[in-house]
Amino acid sequence: MGSSATAPWKQLLLNALQSNSHLKHSSYFQLATVGNNGRPSNRTVVFRGFQDDSDKIQMNTDSRTRKIEDLKHCPFAEICWYFTDTWEQFRINGKVDIIDGYSADPLKLQHREKAWFASSLRSRLQYLGPTPGLPSLNEELSEKTSLDPSTGPVGAFCLLLLDPDQVDYLNLKSNERQSFTSTRTGSGEKFWTSDKVNP
């Protein structure tokens, strides 16, 4: 059993991303949430990097999607990320912070704006489309719909930050599995412990 203040699983994940970077799908993972009906809901989302030097995982989403309803009901979620070349799986569990345009924290709003401008123009245009999940009424985005590249985030744009507290790492090539758990010190600093567990 080892312990560390920096997330020991983060380097494993960065290595996996590097080793699988030639595969476009390596930047996609599944995000599972729990709905207010108590049922799980799962979807594929894009990894948008870590927030600054932290171990918080960034995702972008539309504020009108069901995952936002789910996260408002229950802020906990789990990521399942499988890297096909290196046969590595990461299950990352934690609390998700929803940062929309109504956030009262100016620093969070800055992070949201930074995430917006880091997205492609094509990706940003999706947030101007019809409400996701509603019946399609031929409200396709008009070819004429345009967005000034210098315009800040539109209302529907949300930044999601998953703050991990448990990570399960499985390497199917070496048949090794590690479990990482975080605890907080009295001052609020995150502290990680790791254990080798049976695959």
Per-residue pLDDT at 11: 95
DSSP, res 189: -
157 within a domain of the structure (yes/no): yes
146 within a domain of the structure (yes/no): no
139 within a domain of the structure (yes/no): no
| CB-based contact 124:47 (threshold 8 Å) | no
pLDDT at 186 over 80: yes
Query: 96 pairs with which residues across the strands?
Result: 162
Instruction: Report the alpha-carbon distance of residue 195 to residue 179 in Å, rounded.
Output: 5
108 within a domain of the structure (yes/no): yes
Percent of the chain beyond pLDDT 70? 93
* Number of domains forming the structure of the chain: 1
Per-residue pLDDT at 140: 59
Instruction: For residue 147, name the pLDDT band (cuts at 50, 70, 90).
Output: confident
**pLDDT tens digits along 22-76:** 999 999 999 999 999 999 999 999 999 999 989 999 999 999 999 999 999 999 9
In a 3-state reduction of DSSP, which class is residue 147?
coil
Instruction: Report the alpha-carbon distance of residue 50 to residue 59 in Å, rounded.
Output: 9
57 within a domain of the structure (yes/no): yes
Mean pLDDT of the region 3-12: 82
Q: What is the CATH number of the domain that holds 163?
A: 2.30.110.10
pLDDT at 20 over 60: yes
Per-residue pLDDT at 74: 97
- pTM for the full predicted model: 0.91
**pLDDT tens digits along 150-184:** 889 999 999 999 999 999 999 999 999 999 999 98
In a 3-state reduction of DSSP, which class is residue 8?
helix
Mean pLDDT of the region 90-114: 97
54 within a domain of the structure (yes/no): yes
Per-residue pLDDT at 148: 82
pLDDT at 185 over 70: yes
| CB-based contact 44:67 (threshold 8 Å) | no
37 within a domain of the structure (yes/no): yes
Q: Residue 100: give the domain boundaries.
A: 2-129+152-197
Instruction: Report the alpha-carbon distance of residue 97 to residue 38 in Å, rounded.
Output: 20
Instruction: For residue 96, name the pLDDT band (cuts at 50, 70, 90).
Output: very high
135 within a domain of the structure (yes/no): no
3-state secondary structure 46-115: ECCCECCCCCCEEEEEECCCHHHHHHHHCCEEEEEEEECCCCEEEEEEEEEEEECCCCCCHHHHHHHHHH
